[in-house]
Amino acid sequence: MTPLQYTIIQLLADGLFHSGERMARETGVSRAAVWKALQELRTLGVAVHAVSGRGYALAHSLELLDQSAILEHLPDSTRFVLEQFDVHRSVDSTNACLLRQANGHAVSACVAEHQNAGRGRRGRSWISPLGGNLYLSLRWRFDEGMGRLAGLSLAVAVAVIRTLQEFGIQDAALKWPNDVYWHGRKLGGILLEITGESAGPCLVVIGIGINVTMPAASGKDIDQPWVDLASIRAGISRNQLAGRLLHHLVEALLTFTQSGMSSFEQEWCAADLLLGREVILSQPGAEIRGIGRGIAPDGALLLEIAGQLQRYTYGEVSPRLLERPA
């Protein structure tokens, strides 16, 4: 996103109409340059309305991400742990930003207004329109190696549930291992990327995407039923959401470092979308049906298949509901 595009977004963020002439005057460019920037913003997922005689307006007012506003929602204890926090206008992905910090802070985080190469699990793309959703990543150092990280993504998912509950959303659910659902539609997702030694220090970059106000045009590119927070509970501040999510995430990671997955198992089970339901496991060349029976102490998925309890770990399977819940 260019400086001109961002300035125009700032002008239009109030949701009111602004003439092309006024925007050209305030940005110091020609009306043609303003028009071109508006067309480019549309390609980034911004819904811009044009009305003859009135000018241009966004489909709805927009709360831009603001570092100070986000930090206001962090308690001092979380600020003390967080060594660096950045707000980006547009990036390839927030995870990639933190992964490039080869010698950076042990605990750092960032958010972005837009991602042009957002990533989901197993190489899938993450639809990331400008200014509508929350794209947040946190980098965390673990000193005891990858072998101690079993169940980490589930602990992160519990932190997301705690955040949503704080905003009055009590019926969100978790689909193993990393998806957040609401009434059978996807609300968000989690991606963990790990670098380091299996028995030595390692760095984990945790990416979280939550649909806040998904433009309908961008939603058409999502290949599964989805929902956004605006449809569930209107008026949730993205800055407040980012701050509270960061707090719950840091709190969860501190707890996980001390006691592992055991401190999160009960909350995971309470939100487990697959528990007691028939699901399909997709494997190379085969599909297996079973009944969800919760998780093992290390976070592995437990399925009852032909009367026997089987466990499945990350990367082996892709569970999906046989029947979508109402």
Q: What is the pLDDT of residue 121?
A: 62
Is the Cβ–Cβ distance between 95 and 192 less than 8 Å? no
Find, among 100, 102, 86, 118, the residue nearest to 222 by Cα: 118
Helix (H, G, I), strand (E, B) or coil at 170: coil
Pick the CATH number of 3-58 from 3.40.50.300, 3.40.640.10, 2.60.40.10, 1.10.10.10: 1.10.10.10
Q: What is the pLDDT of residue 132?
A: 83
Is the Cβ–Cβ distance between 290 and 302 less than 8 Å? no
Q: What is the pLDDT of residue 326?
A: 52
Print pLDDT tens along the chain (326 aa): 889 998 999 999 998 999 999 999 999 999 999 999 999 888 888 888 999 989 999 888 889 999 999 999 999 999 999 999 999 998 889 999 999 886 667 899 999 998 886 666 666 666 777 888 999 999 999 988 787 888 999 999 999 999 999 999 999 999 998 899 999 899 999 999 998 877 778 899 999 999 998 877 666 777 788 999 999 998 999 999 999 999 999 999 999 999 999 999 999 999 999 999 998 888 777 788 899 999 999 999 999 999 999 998 865 566 777 665 55
Distance CA 164, CA 171 (A): 9
Pairing verdict, β 185-196 and 179-182: antiparallel
The dihedrals phi and psi of 135, each to the nearest 5 degrees, come to -120, 110
Q: What is the pLDDT of residue 288?
A: 84
Q: What is the pLDDT of residue 47?
A: 85
Q: Pick the catalytic residue: 36, 141, 186, 277?
A: 186
Q: What is the pLDDT of residue 145?
A: 77
Tell me whether residue 42 is one of the annotated catalytic residues.
Answer: no
| Domain boundaries, given as residue ranges, for the chain | 3-58, 67-270, 274-321
Q: Pick the catalytic residue: 119, 121, 139, 175?
A: 121
Q: What is the pLDDT of residue 122?
A: 60
Tell me whether residue 238 is one of the annotated catalytic residues.
Answer: no
Q: How far out from the chain centre does Cα 318 lie?
A: 19
Q: What is the pLDDT of residue 275?
A: 93
Q: What is the pLDDT of residue 73?
A: 96
Find, among 164, 171, 273, 256, the residue nearest to 208 by Cα: 164
CATH architecture for the domain at 67-270: 2-Layer Sandwich (3.30)
Determine which helix (DSSP H) or strand (DSSP E) holds 35, and give its type and residue range: helix 31-43
Find, among 166, 141, 149, 156, the residue nearest to 209 by Cα: 156
Q: What is the pLDDT of residue 54?
A: 92
Q: Do domains 3-58 and 274-321 have the same CATH topology?
A: no
274-321 maps to CATH 2.30.30.100: yes
Tell me whether residue 186 is one of the annotated catalytic residues.
Answer: yes
Residues in Cβ contact with 188 at an 8 Å cutoff, skipping those fewer than 6 apart: 160, 179, 180, 208, 209, 210, 211
Q: What is the pLDDT of residue 321?
A: 72
Global pTM value? 0.89
pLDDT, tens digit (0-9, with 9 covering 90-100), for 167-223: 999 999 999 988 999 998 999 999 999 988 777 788 999 999 999 988 776 667 777
Is the Cβ–Cβ distance between 211 and 226 less than 8 Å? yes
| Residue that the structure tokens 């303003």 belong to | 34
Find, among 86, 106, 82, 113, the residue nearest to 97 by Cα: 86
